[in-house]
Structure 1
Amino acid sequence: MNYKINFAILISTLCGITASAQIKDAIMVDVARSESKVSPTMWGIFFEDINMGADGGLYAEMVKNRSFEFLKPLMGWNIKGKKVKEGDVLVLNRQEANVANPRYLRVNVKAALKGDVGLSNAGFKGGMGVKKGLRYDFSVRCRQQGANVTLHIELLDEKDQLLGGGILKPSGTSGQWGKQEISFTANEGSGNAKLNIWMEGTGVLDLDMISLFPGDTWKGRKAGMRADMVQLLADMKPGFIRFPGGCIVEGIDLANRYQWKKTVGPIEERQLIMNRWNTEFAHRPAPDYFQTFGLGFFEYFQLAEDIGAEPLPILNCGMACQFNTAEVVPLDQLDPYVEDALDLIEFANGDISSKWGKLRTEMGHPAPFNLKYLGVGNENWGPQYVERAKVFQAAIKAKYPNINLIFSSGTDPDSERFRYLDASLREMKADVIDEHYYRAPEWFLKNAERYDQYDRNGPKVFAGEYAAHVDGKIIGSNRNIWEAAIAEAAFMTGLERNAAVVNMASYAPLFANTEGWQWAPDLIWMDNLKIYGTPNYLVQKLFSTNKGTHTVSALINNKVISGADHLYVSSVIDRVKKELIVKMVNTDGSVKTKEIAFEGVKLAGSGSLTVIKGELSDRNTIDKPFFILPKEEKLKIKGKGTTILLPANSVVMLKIAYH
C-alpha cells in the first residue's frame, strides 16, 4: 500500500473566515464552548493473562513449569541422558510442609559425566527466544544431600547448536535449601531455543524454581518484565492500567479465582493455579497454561507507577464466572472477600506500621502506591451481584470513603440484564459503572452517540472492555484489520465528546502470543522475540497521547458530527500545552474535503496533521509491523481556519497551537 501523503494538497488556508454563520457545512470548533474536563484517566489499558499475556509473555521467565507445580509435574520438561535409570529422577511432594510450593525434583546422580544425566526445557509456545550478545540469568533453588554435583547450563537452538551457557557449582550447607545463580552471554541467537541442564558428579540433588531470564528486562530489573512489551504500553501514556483481568478474576469456580494475597511476597512462596483459559476454548486447547504469579499485585502496582498510570485492580466479589459454574459465596460468608478488598487498599496505601503496608515496604516500596480506584467483580450480573456489590460498597466506603468503586454492568450493553444493572447501580449511587462491548464494526459506528443523553450528574462510565469484531470466519491476528480499528476510532470520538460522562476507556484484550492465542482480536501481538502494535493500537495511542484537558464544541450546522456523511469528529483543548486537537474519522470509501473554522481563540499559526489510513482489510504483522503507520507533517495556518482533505477510510488528527 502507498502511504505517501501530499500534505500540500491536504491543507490550504482560509484567510477570510470570521464567523461560523459564513460557512455552511464547515466543521466549526468553538473554544468559547469548552464543555467538560477530560479525565486524566480517560484512555487506559486493560491487562489480563489470556493469550499467554503474562507467563510466556509480559513476565519474562523463559522456563515453563519452573517449580513442577503444573497438573502434570513434568509438563514442559524432558529427562535426558545415557545413565538415567528408573527411580533416579523423582517428583517429591512436601504437601502441608509447603502448601504454596509443595513439589520439587530429586535427582540421584551416580558418577555421572556431562551427557549422562540431565533435564531439558523448551520454554513456552514456540520455544525460547534468545538474542545474540545478550546476558541471561539462570537460577535454581537446590539442596544437596552429601552431593558433589556440578551443573552445566546450556542454551541450544533447534539444531542443537550451542548458543551459550555456563557452569554452576552449588555451594552452601549440605541438606539446606539455597538459591544458586549464574549469568552468561549468548554468542548466537534463535527464536526456538531450549535449555539443557547436565549434572556431573555423585550425590542426591533436589531442584526447585529452575529459572532463566533475559538480561534486558524492563528497567533492568532481575526476574522482571519483557522490556519491549512494557515500552509499547509506556508509549501510549495510559491514564490507568486495569489488572489482573478479566475473567481470571472470577475463575471457573471460586477455588480457581484470583486471590491477590497469594501473588505477593517472595516468588517461591506464591501459589500457582491453573489459568482459567487453560480449558475454556476447545478449538484452542491450552493444557500447559498456568499462572505462576511471578507477575503479581506488587508488580502490577509497580508497572502502573513506572508508566505513569493509575492502578486499577479488580477483585472477586464472591462470584465465580457465570458462564461456567456460577458459584456464589453465601452473603453470610462474604466477609473474607470484603476483608481482601480492605487489605488490598492497605497494601497499596498503608504506612509501614500497618500489616500490609509493612509487606509492601519489605518488598521494596516504602512509599504508598496512592490507589484511588478499585473494581468490585468482573462482568457479574443479576440480583445476586447487586446484593454483594452493596456489601462491598458499604464496608469500603465506611473505611476508605475516597476510594472510587467500579461496578459491573454485565456483558451485554443492550440487554434487559444491562438495564437492570444500570438502574440498580445508579440507585446505589455507584461511583463508576463498567460497560463492556465486543460487537461488529457496524455496532460501533451506530453507537457513537451512545452517551450523548446519559445523565451528566450520575455515575461515571468506564468503557472497560471493547473491541470491534469482524466476521467470525477471520481468525487470529487477521482480525486486527483497519476496518475494525476505524470503527473503534469513530466510537471513541463519541466517548471523548462525552467526557462529562465517560472518564475511563480501554480496549481488550491487550496482548496475544502468535503461537498461543485463544481470543482475538487483541491490541498487541508478539512472539518470543518480536512484537508489533495493531492498527487498533495505533488508534488507541493517537487518542491517549492527545487526550487534552477539556472538550470543546465541534459542530456542522450546529449539529454533533457523529455519522452523517460517514464523518465522526471530536475536539479537545489542552490548556497546559496550549493546543487545539481535532480528531476526524472518515469511514467512507471516498475522499472528503472539509473546511474547519475556529472561534474563541487566537491561533498561533503552527500545528501538525497526523493521518492513519488504509484499505479496510489492511493489517500489521510480525514480519510487516509498520504496514499501517501514522504519518505526521508540520503545517502553517493563516487566518482562522483551514481546509482538510480526509482520505478514504482514514483517521485524521489536526493539532494547532494557540496563544
Structure 2
Amino acid sequence: MNKSAKVTIDTNHKKFPVSPSLYGLFFEEINRAGDGGIYAELIRNRSFEDTIIPDRCEVEGCELHSPAGWVSPFEEAPGSIPGWHLRKDAEESKASISLDENDPLNSENSLSLRVELEDVVDKEISVYNEGFWGIPLKKNEKYNLSFYAKKDGNFSGNLEITLENKKGEKLSSIPCEITSENWEKYELVLESTAEEPEGVLAFSTSDKGTFWLEFVSLFPQKTFIERKNGLRPDLVKRVADLEPKFLRFPGGCFVEGFSVETAYRWKKTIGDLTQRSSHWTLWNYRTTNGLGYHEYLQMAEDLGLELMFVVNCGLTCQGRPGEHIPLEDLDDWIQDMLDAIEYANGPITSKWGTLRAENGHPAPFNMKYIEIGNENFGTEYNVRYKRFYDAVKAKYPEIITIWNTHWEVGTETKGLPVEIVDEHFYADFDYYVMYSDMYDTYDRNGPKVYVGEYAMILGEGAGKLKGAISEAAFMTGMERNQDIVTMSSYAPLFANVQHTNWTPNLIYFNGTNSYVTPSYHVQKLFAENRGDIVLESKVETENRFPSFNGGMSFREIDLLNIKAINISSDEKSLFRSEYLTKEQPGTCLEWYGLRIGDSSWKDYTVDMNAIIGLQGLKVRFLDSTKEWQQNYFLWEFDSNGENRLVHINGWSRVKLSPNQALNVNPDGHHLCIKVTHDSLYCYLDDQLIHEYKIAKIPYLTTVSTLDEQNNEVIVKLVNASEYNLETMIDIDGKVKLVGKQIVLTSDDPNQTNTMEEPNKVIPIETVLQVDSNIYEIPSFSVVILKIAL
C-alpha cells in the first residue's frame, strides 16, 4: 500500500549558503584502523611490546584492571609474543624464543627478541612473523625490510630472510649476515614472486648460537604517494572518495585513555620511529604510534583537508571511570597543546617549527581547529576548558576552538566563551528520524554546531541499509540548518574484520580487500551532491507514533532521598512505598540502580517526596531497557536545583523543554510525573515545570539546495517508512521533473554489504524523466533528485 507526501520548494527564497566544511573525517585508532589498517606497516609487534602491561594496571586472567577500577579485555596470554613464532624443520632440534629486557635498543624500546639455537639438526630453524592476520604480498612488488640485530660469540651470524606463503614456500629470499655483538641496523629489499594474502616474514638459520632481533619493520614500496612510513593506498582512496573537507584526529576516547599513562601525548609520536613510545590504548591493544602526529598532519595535507587536533584537557575517559590531572599540574598539558600548534603552524625559526622541518616539512601545515577534550563534561571539564581556551586565544587567536558537550544538552555553554560545540549521537532508528528536526529550533545566537560523531548503533538495522536511512534522515536536518550546523563526521571510520571493537563502521577491510557499508554510500552521496544555497522547502508527510513504555529507575545514591512514592494508573496502584531500599519488594537492583515496574507500564502517574542531594537527583521513567540498550526519559536535577527533562537513547541525549531553576529546600520537594500516550508532564510542588508532547516519526524528510553553476535543484529525499510514497515535488509550480536520480534502496532494509558481496546495497544513478511532478519514493530509501530548472 502506498502513502502520499508533498514537498514544496521555493527557489526564490534562498536561505543561506551551504557550509563548505559540513562533511569531514573523524579518524581514531580503534578497530585496528591505524596499526594493521591504513598505516602500511606489515609487521605486527615490531618492537615486541604488545604484552607490556600499562603502568599502575594489573592483569588477572584475560582482564586488565585500571588504577580507577575499569576492567577491559587483555587478550594476550602470559608469556606469548603476539605475531612471532618459532619453527623447527626437524623435531629433534632444540631452540627457543623469548623476550629480553637486557641491553635495550634505547630507552623507548625496552624489549628485544632473543633467539637461542641450542641444537640444530640437519635442517633450518626459523623465527617468523605472520603480520596482522597474514602479511599480504603482491606478485613482483618490492618491500623494504629494516631491523636491528646482534649476536653472541657462538653464532656465525648467517641468516636467510624470506617472504613465504602460508604453506612455507619461499616467495623471496635474501642472505644476511649479522656481524656484531652490538646493535646494528640492517636494511634490505625483498621482492615477492607470487600473490599471497597470508604470507609470513622468516629469519632462518642452520647454525647454533644466539641472536637478537629488535624493531623489525616491513613496508611495501607502493604506499600512498610512495611516502616512507606511509599509508595503504586502497584505504586512503576509500577515504578520499568521500570528498571530505577536514580531518579530526587522533580520536576520540583514544585521546583520553583510561589512565594518565594511556592518554595520548603527541610528543611521544614524532621523529625517528625507534625513539617513539608505544602505548596501550583504551581500545584494548597497543599502538606503535608509527602513525604519529606528523603523519596525521601529512595525511591531511595530502588529501587537501583542514586540520582539527583533539587535545587531552587533563581528563581521562570519564565513563570508565576517569582520572583528573590536578589543576596545579595542568600547565604541562596546556603547554603540550601550545607546542602542538607551534609544530603544525609555527615558523621554521621556532623550536617546534624547526623540529617539523627536520622531520621533512619546512612549510607550516596550517592547522585550523583545536578541540579541547573529548566527551568530557561537568565542572571538572568546564574549569579545564576555560584554561585551555584562554591559553590558545592568548597565543593563537586565529585558532578556532571547539567545546565538547557530548553529555551536556543542546548548546548550553555554562557562560563559557564557545565558538563551536561538538555533539555526539549514538542511538537507534527511531531516534534519528524522530529528531531529524532537532536543529530547526536551535538558538541562532548561540555557538556553531559540529556533529562530531554519529551512527545508528542500536536495534534492528544497525550497520545495514535501515541504519543508513535513519542517519540520512538526521543528515537532512543538519543540511537544512547549515547556518549553525557547519561541520559533521561519522564515526567510526575504519574496522579490521579481524579486530572489531565497535560496530557499525563505514569501511571494513582485511589485509588485501575492503568493502563499505550502506552508511558509507549515504555519506558519499550527501557530500557529492551539495549545491550552493539552501532553499526554503517544506514537507507534508504522514507519520507514525513512537511507542514508549517501562517503569522507574533510581540511582542507589538517591534511594535514601525518596519518600512516600506512589505510582498509579487509571486509579489502580502499581507501586507504593514510604521509602526505598535495595531489597525493596517489587523491585530489582541492576547496574544503574533500583528498577521499579516493567516494560508493560505505559500511562501512569508518579507522586513522591524527594530531597535534592549534593549529587543532585535523577528520576528515570518509561525505562524499559537495560544497561547500554538505553531508551528512557529523565528528569534530572543538579545540586543547585537547576533541572531539565531529557530523552536518553543509547549514548544520545535530547533536551525536551527549557531548563528550570529551583531554590532547593533541604527538607525536600513534592514531585509528580504524569505520563500519557502522547505527552509528559513534570510538576514540582504542584507547579507544572516541564511539558512535552512526544514527537512523531515522519515517513519523509527532505532538504533542497540550489546548484547555481548547473542551474538545477538538488532534492534529497529520505523515506524512513515501509510504504512507497507518492510524492508531489512542487518546484515553483513546475509540472515536469527532468534531470538525474540517484536511489539507494533494497528489497530488504536489513541488507548490507560484505566482503563476499560488496555491492549488495549500492546507489543506482539513472536519467530522471517524469511527465508530471509526482515522484514515487521507494520504501526505506534515500533518493537524490537533480532537477533542471
Question: How far did 1:47 drift?
Answer: 1.2
Normalised TM-score (structure 1): 0.85
**Contact 2:268–2:277 (Cα < 8 Å) also in 1:** yes
1:544 equivalent to 2:550? Answer no
Q: Per the alignment, in what secondary structure is the counterpart of residue 28 of structure 2?
A: coil
1:228 equivalent to 2:246? Answer no
Amino acid at match of 2:12: A
Question: How far did 1:550 drift?
Answer: 2.5
Name the residue aligned to 2:8: 28
Quote the Cα distance in structure 1 between the aligned partners of 2:723 and 2:44.
Answer: 50
**Contact 1:90–1:107 (Cα < 8 Å) also in 2:** no
Q: Per the alignment, in what secondary structure is the counterpart of residue 394 of structure 2?
A: helix
**Contact 2:491–2:505 (Cα < 8 Å) also in 1:** yes
Higher relative contact order (CA 8 A, sep 6+): 1
Among candidates 12, 18, 30, match of residue 50 of structure 1: 30
Amino acid at match of 2:7: I
Name the residue aligned to 1:464: 452
1:496-541 Cα deviation digits (max 9, x unpaired): 0011111111111111111211211111111222101100000011
Quote the Cα distance in structure 2 between the aligned partners of 1:350 and 1:577.
Answer: 41
| TM-aligned CA distance change 1:623 to 1:25, over 3 Å | closer
1:567 equivalent to 2:558? Answer no
Question: How far did 1:111 drift?
Answer: 9.8
Name the residue aligned to 1:646: 777
| TM-aligned CA distance change 1:216 to 1:631, over 3 Å | same
**Contact 2:262–2:282 (Cα < 8 Å) also in 1:** yes
| TM-aligned CA distance change 1:487 to 1:516, over 3 Å | same
1:324-358 Cα deviation digits (max 9, x unpaired): 24210111110011111111111111121111111
Name the residue aligned to 1:4: none
**Contact 1:448–1:494 (Cα < 8 Å) also in 2:** yes
| TM-aligned CA distance change 1:77 to 1:564, over 3 Å | closer
Quote the Cα distance in structure 1 between the aligned partners of 2:345 and 2:711.
Answer: 34
Name the residue aligned to 1:284: none
**Aligned CA-pair RMSD:** 3.0
Q: Per the alignment, in what secondary structure is the counterpart of residue 412 of structure 2?
A: helix
Among candidates 107, 115, 130, match of residue 122 of structure 1: 130
Quote the Cα distance in structure 1 between the aligned partners of 2:291 and 2:97.
Answer: 33
Question: How far did 1:143 drift?
Answer: 3.9
Q: Per the alignment, in what secondary structure is the counterpart of residue 451 of structure 1?
A: helix
| TM-aligned CA distance change 1:515 to 1:108, over 3 Å | closer
Question: How far did 1:174 drift?
Answer: 6.9
Quote the Cα distance in structure 2 between the aligned partners of 1:271 and 1:631.
Answer: 47
| TM-aligned CA distance change 1:172 to 1:461, over 3 Å | farther
Gaps of 5+ in 1: 1-23, 279-288, 412-416
Quote the Cα distance in structure 2 between the aligned partners of 1:107 and 1:594.
Answer: 72
Quote the Cα distance in structure 2 between the aligned partners of 1:85 and 1:382.
Answer: 60
1:496 equivalent to 2:479? Answer yes
Normalised TM-score (structure 2): 0.71
1:276 equivalent to 2:282? Answer yes
Name the residue aligned to 1:169: 176
**Contact 1:114–1:152 (Cα < 8 Å) also in 2:** no
Quote the Cα distance in structure 2 between the aligned partners of 1:55 and 1:271.
Answer: 14
**Contact 1:253–1:324 (Cα < 8 Å) also in 2:** no
Name the residue aligned to 1:581: 714
**Contact 1:275–1:290 (Cα < 8 Å) also in 2:** yes
Q: Per the alignment, in what secondary structure is the counterpart of residue 467 of structure 1?
A: strand
Question: How far did 1:91 drift?
Answer: 1.4
Quote the Cα distance in structure 2 between the aligned partners of 1:559 and 1:75.
Answer: 56
1:591 equivalent to 2:597? Answer no
Quote the Cα distance in structure 2 between the aligned partners of 1:64 and 1:277.
Answer: 17
**Contact 1:49–1:248 (Cα < 8 Å) also in 2:** yes
| TM-aligned CA distance change 1:504 to 1:154, over 3 Å | same
Quote the Cα distance in structure 2 between the aligned partners of 1:305 and 1:43.
Answer: 17
1:78 equivalent to 2:85? Answer yes
Name the residue aligned to 1:92: 101
1:440 equivalent to 2:440? Answer no
Name the residue aligned to 1:622: 755
1:258-277 Cα deviation digits (max 9, x unpaired): 11111111111110011221
Question: How far did 1:154 drift?
Answer: 2.5
Name the residue aligned to 2:263: 257
Name the residue aligned to 1:154: 162
Among candidates 592, 604, 608, match of residue 740 of structure 2: 608
Quote the Cα distance in structure 2 between the aligned partners of 1:47 and 1:636.
Answer: 40
Name the residue aligned to 1:336: 332
| TM-aligned CA distance change 1:217 to 1:88, over 3 Å | closer
| TM-aligned CA distance change 1:366 to 1:168, over 3 Å | farther
Question: How far did 1:553 drift?
Answer: 1.3
1:429 equivalent to 2:417? Answer yes
Among candidates 423, 441, 445, match of residue 453 of structure 1: 441
Quote the Cα distance in structure 2 between the aligned partners of 1:297 and 1:90.
Answer: 29
Quote the Cα distance in structure 2 between the aligned partners of 1:60 and 1:609.
Answer: 38
Amino acid at match of 1:624: E
1:373 equivalent to 2:504? Answer no
Quote the Cα distance in structure 2 between the aligned partners of 1:635 and 1:179.
Answer: 62
Moved more, 381-390 or 170-179: 170-179
1:399 equivalent to 2:404? Answer no
**Contact 2:706–2:713 (Cα < 8 Å) also in 1:** yes
1:421-472 Cα deviation digits (max 9, x unpaired): x4235x213111111111011000101011111122211111111111232x
| TM-aligned CA distance change 1:114 to 1:392, over 3 Å | farther
Question: How far did 1:37 drift?
Answer: 2.4
**Contact 1:150–1:167 (Cα < 8 Å) also in 2:** no
Question: How far did 1:392 drift?
Answer: 0.3
Quote the Cα distance in structure 1 between the aligned partners of 2:124 and 2:540.
Answer: 82
Quote the Cα distance in structure 2 between the aligned partners of 1:637 and 1:114.
Answer: 79
Question: How far did 1:580 drift?
Answer: 2.8
Q: Per the alignment, in what secondary structure is the counterpart of residue 131 of structure 2?
A: coil
**Contact 2:149–2:178 (Cα < 8 Å) also in 1:** no
Quote the Cα distance in structure 2 between the aligned partners of 1:479 and 1:451.
Answer: 23
1:280-332 Cα deviation digits (max 9, x unpaired): xxxxxxxxx21001111111111112222212111100001112242101111
Name the residue aligned to 2:384: 388
**Contact 1:583–1:654 (Cα < 8 Å) also in 2:** yes
* Higher helix content, 1 or 2: 1
Amino acid at match of 2:176: K
**Contact 1:165–1:185 (Cα < 8 Å) also in 2:** yes
Greater Rg over alpha carbons, structure: 2
Which structure 2 residues correspond to residues 475-494 of structure 1 after superposition, within 5 A? 479-494=462-477
| TM-aligned CA distance change 1:559 to 1:31, over 3 Å | farther
Quote the Cα distance in structure 2 between the aligned partners of 1:218 and 1:606.
Answer: 41
Among candidates 87, 108, 111, match of residue 103 of structure 1: 111
Question: How far did 1:252 drift?
Answer: 1.0
Amino acid at match of 2:749: L
**Contact 1:110–1:201 (Cα < 8 Å) also in 2:** no
Q: Kindly, what percent of the aligned residue pairs are identical?
A: 38
Q: Per the alignment, in what secondary structure is the counterpart of residue 537 of structure 2?
A: strand
Quote the Cα distance in structure 2 between the aligned partners of 1:558 and 1:511.
Answer: 36
| TM-aligned CA distance change 1:195 to 1:99, over 3 Å | same
Moved more, 534-543 or 308-317: 308-317
Question: How far did 1:138 drift?
Answer: 2.1
| TM-aligned CA distance change 1:200 to 1:324, over 3 Å | same
1:198 equivalent to 2:204? Answer yes
**Contact 1:456–1:501 (Cα < 8 Å) also in 2:** yes
**Contact 2:541–2:699 (Cα < 8 Å) also in 1:** no
Quote the Cα distance in structure 2 between the aligned partners of 1:290 and 1:114.
Answer: 39
Amino acid at match of 2:225: K
Amino acid at match of 1:248: F
Quote the Cα distance in structure 1 between the aligned partners of 2:83 and 2:318.
Answer: 32
